[in-house]
């Protein structure tokens, strides 16, 4: 309950304080390329339930069944999108996900169903026992994930076989050791990583 109260207060404060920034980003996206301001995608949440995650659109319109990994200098990424992705500003609309209860400020990052299907059963049970988050230790470590995967001959295979197992270890450790002060540390490190 205390985590939910913290999430609500944090999301409300973030949306209120960042309202001018959110409006400016929305305007920039509309002027930069055709399409909606927000990008919506189905992700797997607590208990394996699907929910709609919100992001600022950072790519040109693409088929729904297109590649689900964005690697390196992907030509689908817009000019505004490159800046938003670099500073993780495309994730800001997820404060609304936190407000509605489908996400938390801190927790394992939610994945699309096809990658959740790759989770070993024991880790899947642990990871999906909590609400997914906007940030966690894995998100901090792999903040340049796209550049890492761009160096792989087969980016999706590299993600599933090399990156995802490490992320899952972080997720499981977070669930087992989570605390209020631990969440504050992760939020502080996230802000520091963005600033750097």
- DSSP annotation of 43: E
Helix (H, G, I), strand (E, B) or coil at 147: helix
Count Cα neighbours of 98 within 13 Å in the Cβ-side half-sphere. Answer: 27
Bridge partner list, 133: 104
Helix (H) / strand (E) element for 105: namely strand 104-106
Does the structure show a pLDDT above 90 at 111? Answer: yes
101 Ramachandran zone, left/alpha/beta (phi>0; psi -120 to 50): left
Average pLDDT over residues 98-105: 97
* 34-89 per-position pLDDT tens digit: 999 999 999 999 999 999 999 999 988 765 455 556 665 677 889 999 999 888 89
Between 94 and 149, whose confidence is greater? Answer: 94
């Amino acid at each position: 309950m205390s985590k939910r109260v913290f999430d609500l207060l944090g999301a409300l404060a973030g949306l209120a304080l960042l309202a001018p920034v959110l409006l400016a980003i929305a305007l920039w996206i509309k002027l930069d390329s055709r399409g909606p301001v927000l990008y919506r995608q189905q992700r797997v949440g607590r208990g394996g339930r699907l929910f709609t995650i919100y992001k600022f659109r950072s790519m040109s319109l693409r088929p729904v069944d297109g590649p689900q990994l964005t690697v390196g200098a992907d030509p689908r990424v817009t000019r505004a999108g490159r800046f938003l992705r670099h500073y993780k500003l495309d994730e800001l609309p997820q404060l609304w996900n936190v407000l509605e209860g489908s996400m938390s400020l801190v927790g394992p990052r939610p994945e699309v169903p096809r990658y959740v299907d790759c989770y070993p059963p024991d880790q899947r049970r642990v990871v999906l026992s909590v609400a997914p988050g906007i940030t966690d230790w894995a998100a901090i470590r792999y903040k340049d994930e796209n550049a890492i995967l761009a160096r792989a001959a087969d980016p999706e295979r590299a993600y599933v076989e090399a990156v995802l197992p490490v992320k899952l270890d972080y997720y499981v450790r977070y669930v087992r050791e989570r605390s209020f002060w631990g969440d504050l540390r992760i939020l502080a490190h996230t802000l520091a990583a963005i600033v750097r």
